Each structure stands twice: as C-alpha cells, then as structure tokens.
Amino acid sequence: MAIRIKARNGESAEQMMRRFKKLCEKEGLTKDIKKRAYYEKPSERKQRALRKMTKRATMPARGGSRG
C-alpha cells in the first residue's frame, strides 16, 4: 500500500509533510509500525488479545438515548 501526495498550488514542503503524516495516521500505518517495532511472542499476543476482550466485556455500553 503506497500513499502518494502531490504538491498543491503554493504548498510548502512542511505542509505536504503534515498532510502525509495525517494520511499515514488515518490509514493506521503509524500504529502498525509502532506495534511491529519489537518482536512479540505469539503467547504474549494471545494474552494481550484476551485482556482486550475481557476489558471490552466488563466496560459498560456507550451511548444510549438522551431526552
């Protein structure tokens, strides 16, 4: 997956970089890179997923009706 940025009229390099970073974050690339920065054993990955599932199950439901 390649993210391509074309310079807009009168756009500086800093503005292009800002737009590029926002697109990367929106696509989830920054989160993925941080996650893959260090090796995680499969057992640790399973434990993290299990903790995430139990946390979701114990949290109260969001939203609801107002009025």
**Residue 59: what pLDDT?**
78
φ, ψ dihedrals at 55, nearest 5°: -65, -40
Structure tokens at 38: 């260090």
**Residue 64: what pLDDT?**
63
**Residue 61: what pLDDT?**
72
Per-10-residue mean pLDDT for the chain, 67 residues long?
Answer: 86 94 90 89 94 87 65
**Residue 47: what pLDDT?**
95
Integer Cα distance of 27 and 8 in angstroms = 21
φ, ψ dihedrals at 10, nearest 5°: 70, 15
C-alpha closest to that of 19 among 2, 1, 3, 31: 3
